Structure 1
């Protein structure tokens, strides 16, 4: 199929024992926006990228005791929303597992203690203006105008924007144990997802089958038949995805769907192609295999050549959360055995610590990255 190109959302990475695999219309008070009246419905090698003479590798102990200016970067630390303009907003809870910015409001998700999550829409003054249920963290388009999620009660694939919402499809949520059958990983298009207006596409991953794409035309299929999981989708037609997972690692690829072909620009089993940078010229590279609470290192590679341009890693430590900031830096946490650190790394590998270290256990990072 041909993907219409609208806007971009970075897909959250999910920690898995063997490899990183990728991250419902409420009614009445459970809906994030009132429904509009429009009529449209709707991997064999296991080594990580090798460093070269141009690669920067950073250790938390090499940084200054004074955090760098975090201007332009937003994140959640515990129960505090650190906004990109330098202001902070106190939140009603802690331990969030997902966050996006939607029309200037923060949408955070928190595990419900069983299988799914609760989402809060929080205004700039910290007021919770809406709450709804979702199978997994909510996703947002790059303009910050449209969100998407899957309703855990109905299985509806939902989109919402200021003043309206529409269902783009439906999934069967039947799954064994605590498996999440389907979760939204990307939305492009909008803001108005009715086909007679702007139109949208929602990409979903599955814990029980193949990934799928739903659009405002009512079309539902997998645009990349070899994909096991989508990792990222951009408005420029770039998609990173995993196509092989075995005990010894994973394989992944980058495809440009504007070429009207599903043939990858490149494919590798040396690392996992994960989040695409806002400039479209760089890709986050994660280890093809890891086991535990996080990854020991993260690399940035050129989206055309796969050449490594930067790397962060610390011996004996690990990172568990990461995202591209709106200004094009990779934001990541890092645990050193006693404290959690927050770093920002440019695409050429320059790394700065941007917050004071926080003491804590290795199981619980205090940081939740805001995906843009």
Structure 2
């Protein structure tokens, strides 16, 4: 998700990190009951070998590129925006972007205009942006669980009641599109992870624990997925709809939910090594595996990072294989093509490409 940046390292080693913080309070993960477990069905498999693919269209979502020490954000309309080299996350917002950068002092979050001009304020935050389903609001969390959102006006910042954690939180999702509660809006809810518990804080001023989840990993609309338990052997996750558990799996950690809510990405249940080499596409309704992108047995296939839905039928991933970085488009039908052509590089350096947070 190379030597990953702190945010990417977090995204693909969340299970291992959570195991350290939760070990004292967790019993070993137990298999789900037949009624609660995800439905198991044979799924077609595609080997994640990206060594020789056809060139397709450029990404239809925002992406960044670092060349000769200079980083630019590519908009979906073909425009480019200069950005800091230590860019770790980005989300389109209004006429610009909410960006997060990393450094020795941790993550910093701010809004920038389309020409790269910074907004009026910057926040020291935890790693992670939470984005609403239609991208109209972006949430983030700072010291002592403070929470804010920036909406599509770009410079309107709203504060929420803090969640009960002593550290900087990690925003995961914004449920709802308009966080300013008024006659035309019911507000929104921001889901935030602490070190060992997920919380929610709403425009109504209500702060609560997220039921059933130790850590949230994805959310869109009424759907919210996350980790329920961690052991030395892996993790188990659950998908909630309206705070009610719909299914569980001990085979995957849940990642991005598709724009039509039909599918959710499943990364390996236990994160280890340089990066994952297998990716599942699951049905959001019941957790059944629709498509698997699997590793080659001889280790010749790709490692991927930044898995993000491009549209309802395609996923974009940043890949590393044979000393080359690329952005690859994966189809739910098993197709693969380059969205950004391969570039020579090393696993000891950061990837030159990055995809937006959705």
Asked if TM exceeds 0.5, the reply is yes
Moved more, 136-145 or 210-219: 136-145
For residue 26 of structure 2, what is the aligned residue in structure 1? Answer: none
For residue 201 of structure 1, what is the aligned residue in structure 2? Answer: 189
Q: Is residue 11 of structure 2 the alignment partner of residue 14 of structure 1?
A: yes
| C-alpha distance 265-155 of structure 1, shift in aligned 2 (>3 A) | closer
Higher RCO (CA-CA < 8 Å; seq separation 6+)? 1
For residue 348 of structure 1, what is the aligned residue in structure 2? Answer: 333
For residue 210 of structure 1, what is the aligned residue in structure 2? Answer: 197
Q: Give the superposition deviation at 1:326.
A: 4.9
Contact 2:48 2:277 in 1 (8 A): no
Contact 2:61 2:76 in 1 (8 A): yes
Q: Deviations over 1:156-197 (max 9, x none)?
A: 21123226332211246635xxxxx42211112242423565
For residue 317 of structure 2, what is the aligned residue in structure 1? Answer: 332
Alignment of 1:111-150 (within 5 A): 111-114=102-105, 116-133=106-123, 134-150=125-141
| C-alpha distance 171-136 of structure 1, shift in aligned 2 (>3 A) | same
Which protein has the bigger strand share?
A: 2
Q: Deviations over 1:84-132 (max 9, x none)?
A: 23x1414232231111111141222111323x21224232233334451
Q: Aligned partners of 2:129 and 2:254: how far apart in 1?
A: 22
For residue 230 of structure 1, what is the aligned residue in structure 2? Answer: 216
Give the counterpart of 1:299 among 280, 299, 303.
280
Give the counterpart of 1:110 among 90, 97, 101.
101
For residue 34 of structure 2, what is the aligned residue in structure 1? Answer: none
Q: Deviations over 1:275-320 (max 9, x none)?
A: 2111111110111113122101111122234332223344433112
Contact 1:189 1:201 in 2 (8 A): yes
Q: Is residue 154 of structure 2 the alignment partner of residue 169 of structure 1?
A: no
The runs of 5 or more residues in structure 2 that have no matched partner are 1-6, 19-28, 32-38
Q: Aligned partners of 1:353 and 1:50: how far apart in 2?
A: 31
| C-alpha distance 117-217 of structure 1, shift in aligned 2 (>3 A) | same
The runs of 5 or more residues in structure 1 that have no matched partner are 1-10, 22-42, 176-180
Q: Deviations over 1:38-78 (max 9, x none)?
A: xxxxx457xxx9995633333112413xx211252321122
| C-alpha distance 164-69 of structure 1, shift in aligned 2 (>3 A) | closer
**Superposition misfits of 4+ residues, deviation over 6 angstroms:** none
Q: Aligned partners of 1:218 and 1:90: how far apart in 2?
A: 36
Moved more, 188-197 or 317-326: 188-197
Q: Aligned partners of 1:210 and 1:139: how far apart in 2?
A: 16
Contact 2:45 2:293 in 1 (8 A): no
Q: Give the CA RMSD over aligned residues.
A: 2.8
Contact 2:43 2:291 in 1 (8 A): no
Alignment of 1:221-260 (within 5 A): 221-224=208-211, 226-235=212-221, 237-257=222-242
